Structures are given as structure tokens and as C-alpha cells.
Amino acid sequence: MAKAVSAILAMAALGLAQCAVRAPQDIGAIYDPPMVCDACEQWNLPQTPFKVFGNVYYVGTKGLSSILITGKAGHVLIDGALTQSAPLIVQNIETLGFSIKDVRFILNSHAHYDHTGGLAALQRLSGAVVMASAPSAKAFLRGNVMEDDPQFGFGPKGNAFPAMKDVRVIADQQVVHLGDIALTAQFTPGHTPGGTSWTWQSCEGKTCLNFVFADSLSPFSPPEYRFSDQGGLQAALAHSIARIAQLPCDIMMTTHPMFFNMAEKAALAHKNPTKNPFIDPDACATYAAKNKNKLARKLAKENQP
């Protein structure tokens, strides 16, 4: 475990705020123009990368997760945060002694700009294969959310991210193999139609633990979207929440690090390197219960006279 991890700044809300692409700046021809949104500056604050357990490393920013899983046959990267996060992710990978050019597969949680924005540049830099569920793949190729996304009402400018040219569609429960790395896609729609969580095992010596990278499960949308309407994602989100709660789960991480208390756990690891505070078999059930309550409150508000 790295000996120093910067503390995460608290953020009041992790829903998507309206944003827009601003004029390109001198950030290198390989990178895309940065996004502007209410939370973008806070989300994109640099974060010291660190080892979580085994071959799993945190390489994201303070407010947006990106996970590197390393192997002799190459590496897997999950999520790309904002467009302006891509250079930070590359730097974090290099700080740990790895190379973006050795990333073979890029996976994603869901097709919103704060988790997908950096993927196009990261794909160009690595030459990696991007994999996603069918609904997410459509959004990736479009460079924007689809009409059935709960956040479609924020508008095309508020939802835009760089489009990708080549995306491999995966199925629910499909296993992605890379050497001795094996990750399983767990479709968890609701926050978006194509939401995907990822599960795998990582080992240190003879100790092997079950990892869950849980997708966002919050019922966030513009006021006019109703999860309880016909065609809404109420049932899908409820099923996804239940699915996360039942997964084998020794270490859970999520799309936003504050949802798994990254700063607090990293600080504890710094104080006592012999104990790994990221190991928490109750984390998935706790995360699911919190989002179940969020959904109940959302539905109750929708059904008020």
C-alpha cells in the first residue's frame, strides 16, 4: 500500500450537472478538450495513485475512480473519468511504474461524461480494445447519452463526451480474459440503461479476495424524468441494487471514491500498513442498502399528489 494518499475533498452532490465542452487548450494533440461543469474542477483534483490489493491499483482523480489491474499479458483499465482526467490517469499509471501502452482492455461502468470522457484519449494512447454493454456502446459511438437515459433531459451539450470509433459489445456475465486476469461483466442498469459493474479476484500470495467495482446506483435525473413511469428504469434499478448486495464482495470500489470512503481508508492504511482497511465484506450490502433508500425516496417524491 502506498505510504501517502491525499485526502479527498467532500462533494455535496455526485449527480451530473450540466456542462459544455470549452475551447481546446494546450494539453497536447492526443487529448480532448476539457469539460466544464459545476463539479468538474473538484472531481478532477489530482490524486496520488496507490495499490489497493494484489495487482489492483487506484489511478483516478480525487473525485472520479479509475482502476488499473495489472498482469504479465497486459493491463486492464476501468473507467476514464473526465476528458481532462486522461492526462492525470496516464501520469498515475506511470508513477506506479506501469505504461498506458500496456493497457490491452478498457472497461466502463456507464456512459456519462464523468466516467467516459477520458476513454477516447486513453484508447488512442494505448491502442486498447474498449468493451461495453450494447446500450453503452451505442452511446460511446454517438458521443452522447441515448434517449432512454434518465439524464437525457440535461440536453446534448450537458451530456456530451468524445465519441469512440471502435467498441466491442459484451454480454451480461461475459468473462473478459487477459492472461491470468479474468473479469466478469455484471449488468446493473438503472442509473443508465447500459450500466455495468465488474467482478474479479486478486491475490497476494495465497490470499485471494473478491473485488467488485460497483456501478452508480443512484436514481438521479432531471425533475421531469419519472423512474416510476412506464418505460422508466425503476424495476431495473431495484434489481441492480439487489444484485450488488448479493455479490461475493471482499473489496468494493465504485465510480466515485467517496462512495467507498477511499480517503478515510487510505489514511488508515497509512497509519497501519499491516492492516488493509479496504477489505470490508459488508461494503456491497451497505452500498446497496443506501441506494435502495435513495430509490424509495425518489419514488415517494414522484408519487406525491
The DSSP code sequence of 203-230 is EETTEEEEEEEEPP------TT--TTST
pTM here is: 0.90
Q: Give the mean model confidence (pLDDT) for residues 278-284.
A: 97
Whether the predicted pLDDT of 215 surpasses 90? yes
Closest CA to 250 of 194, 200, 192: 200
pLDDT band, residue 25 (cuts 50/70/90) = very low
The pLDDT value recorded for residue 274 is 87
pLDDT band, residue 26 (cuts 50/70/90) = very low
The pLDDT value recorded for residue 116 is 98
34-302 CATH: 3.60.15.10
Do 190 and 216 contact (CB within 8 A), yes or no?
Answer: no
% residues pLDDT > 70 (the chain): 90
The one catalytic residue in 79, 114, 149, 215 is 114
Distance of CA 154 to the CA centre of its chain: 20
Which DSSP category does 164 fall into? Answer: -
Whether the predicted pLDDT of 19 surpasses 50? no
The pLDDT value recorded for residue 24 is 36
User: What pLDDT, in 10s, does the model give residues 71-87?
Assistant: 999 999 999 999 999 99
Whether the predicted pLDDT of 6 surpasses 50? no
Q: Give the mean model confidence (pLDDT) for residues 41-68.
A: 97
Q: Give the mean model confidence (pLDDT) for residues 250-279.
A: 93
Whether the predicted pLDDT of 241 surpasses 80? yes
The pLDDT value recorded for residue 115 is 98
The one catalytic residue in 110, 113, 250, 287 is 110
The one catalytic residue in 32, 75, 79, 112 is 112
The one catalytic residue in 57, 115, 149, 287 is 115
Active site residue 225: yes
Q: Give the mean model confidence (pLDDT) for residues 286-301.
A: 97
Buried b (16+ CB within 10 A) or exposed e, 249-277: bbbbbbbbbbbbbbbebbbbbeeeeeebb
Whether the predicted pLDDT of 277 surpasses 70? yes
The pLDDT value recorded for residue 29 is 65
pLDDT band, residue 142 (cuts 50/70/90) = very high
SS3 category, 37: strand
Helix and strand totals (H; E) in the chain:
9, 14
| Lowest mean pLDDT across 29-43, 49-63, 107-121, 208-222 | 29-43
- As a whole number, the mean pLDDT across the chain is 91
The pLDDT value recorded for residue 28 is 52
Active site residue 256: yes
**Crossing angle of helices 86-95 and 119-126, rounded to 10°:** 50
Per-domain residue ranges for the chain? 34-302
The one catalytic residue in 32, 75, 79, 256 is 256
- Strand-strand pairing, 19-21 and 167-169: unpaired
The pLDDT value recorded for residue 15 is 35
Q: Give the mean model confidence (pLDDT) for residues 149-160.
A: 96
Q: Give the mean model confidence (pLDDT) for residues 109-120.
A: 98
| Lowest mean pLDDT across 142-151, 171-180, 228-237, 278-287 | 228-237
The one catalytic residue in 31, 58, 113, 191 is 191
Q: Give the mean model confidence (pLDDT) for residues 128-152.
A: 97
pLDDT band, residue 270 (cuts 50/70/90) = confident
Question: What amino acid occupies position 40?
Answer: C
The one catalytic residue in 31, 57, 225, 287 is 225
Active site residue 114: yes
Active site residue 115: yes
